[in-house]
Amino acid sequence: MTVPAPVLLYVRLLNYAAWRVHVNGNLVETEPRDVTGQLTVLGPGGSSRVRLWFARKPDRSLGWTLSATSAVILLWSSFFRRKLGSGTSC
């Protein structure tokens, strides 16, 4: 991006703690836009390189772990229910 003076960049994303923004290789703070909560970044004047990515936070890791554990328990209980159910006759 090249601009003649410092500028506020309004990114079409909601401001969330997991967003990481680097401007010219330096991590910068983001701010939410007042009404919409849209992610805003202060861009310096001149030529700049802006990089955004969504980092993994502990809440996402915990959610993935709980989901995977639940799936394993569900499959395990389903397997044993079939094993126990197939040995009995009515």
Count the domains in the chain: 2
| Residues 9 and 51 grouped into a single domain | yes
| Residues 45 and 72 grouped into a single domain | no
| Residues 5 and 37 grouped into a single domain | yes
| Residues 69 and 84 grouped into a single domain | yes
| Residues 50 and 87 grouped into a single domain | no
Q: Are 70 and 28 in contact (CB under 8 A)?
A: no
> Could you tell me the residue range of the domain that residue 65 belongs to?
58-90
| Residues 42 and 13 grouped into a single domain | yes
Could you tell me the pTM of the whole model?
Answer: 0.62
User: What is the rounded CA–CA span in Å between residue 14 and residue 20?
Assistant: 12
Report the b/e string of 72-84 with b at 16+ CB within 10 A: eeeeeeeeeeeee
Over residues 11-68, the pLDDT tens digits come to 999 988 889 999 999 999 998 998 899 999 988 989 989 999 998 889 888 999 999 9
